[in-house]
Amino acid sequence: MKSALLFLAIVGCVTAQSLFSSTGQTGIVNVHNVLRSKIAKGTYNAAGTIEPAAANMRKMIWDASLATSAQNYVNGCPDDHSGTSGVGENMYWSWSSQAPPSNLDSFGVSASNSWEKEFQDYGWTSIVLDMATFNTGIGHATQMAWANTNLVGCGVKNCGKDSTMGNMYKVEVVCQYKSQGNILNTNIYQKGNSCSACASGSTCETKSEVPSGLDALKKARMERSLEELKDLIEEVDFSEEEYQEDSDSSLIFD
């Protein structure tokens, strides 16, 4: 009986865990919150334009359930969105002639930075996400900046050599978000004094652009993790001839 039970345990369905370590998770969340904090304070510069302050910007935190969902999806190396109901989704692909490292944490930060960079590349002229604004190419960045979104979870996959891209090595990142953003003809955020429209029961953090509310020990650990992540990113040094990237963001109609 014991051997039979053991056999059943081995062949049972297993839910994938995110391949991002705690360091990778911290890096992803930090990139999001630095952007969101600057927007909240009215200091964010998008291609030369200072965006108005946000009255209702929520702090982003990592969500393990979303991370599991994203990891399950990215494990199939998909080419399009999952269509998961009730979640926003950003996707990122990276190709290189060099095999990726075993630790894929750096790709989460690279993906997040590339999404935020859309505001720098294409500008940001309206806090209402109409089709014209979305079509400028800032859909990933607007999901990152969506004020009512406060949960993110991501997965990453080394997809091996991609025959459609000259057998370059492909790494894919999927991030999922709640509450879902990128709702057409809806405000990305509410304009006004920082934290003036925070939800009842919430508090306003004003000390730093980095997630605050941490005691000294936790803050030191976070800073050490970010330094480790910077080292990982420096190790992944692809030349322009050897490296390409692409991304895709979901949009829903209200």
Q: Is the peptide bond before 179 cis (omega within 30 degrees of 0)?
A: yes
**Residue 63 structural domain:** 16-197+208-249
φ, ψ dihedrals at 140, nearest 5°: -70, -45
Q: Is 171 a domain residue?
A: yes
Q: Which residues contact 216 (CB under 8 A, 6 or more apart)?
A: none
Q: What is the model's pLDDT at position 251? A: 64
Residue 98 maps to which CATH number? Answer: 3.40.33.10
pTM comes to 0.80
Which amino acid belongs to residue 172?
Answer: E
Domain count, the chain: 1
Q: What are phi and psi of 73, to 5 degrees?
A: -75, -45
Q: How far is CA 242 from CA 39, 92, 98, 216, 239, in A?
A: 34, 17, 8, 42, 5
Q: Is residue 142 part of a domain?
A: yes
Q: Could you tell me the sign of the dihedral formed by the alpha carbons of 20, 22, 26, 29, in that order?
A: positive
In the chain, the N- to C-terminal Cα span, in Å, equals 55
Spell out the residues 6+ positions from residue 117 whose beta carbon is closer than 8 angstroms to its own.
141
Each residue's pLDDT, cut to its tens digit, for the chain (254 residues) gives 444 443 334 444 445 667 899 999 999 999 999 999 999 999 999 999 999 999 999 999 999 999 999 999 999 999 999 999 999 999 999 999 999 999 999 999 999 999 999 999 999 999 999 999 999 999 999 999 999 999 999 999 999 999 999 999 999 999 999 999 999 999 999 999 999 998 888 888 876 433 343 344 444 455 555 555 555 444 443 333 344 666 666 666 54
Q: Is residue 239 part of a domain?
A: yes
Cα–Cα distance for residue pair 109/158, rounded to 1 Å:
15
Residue 4 lies in a domain: no
Residue 136, in any domain of the structure: yes
* 202 in any annotated domain: no
* 45 vs 39: CA distance, rounded Å: 9
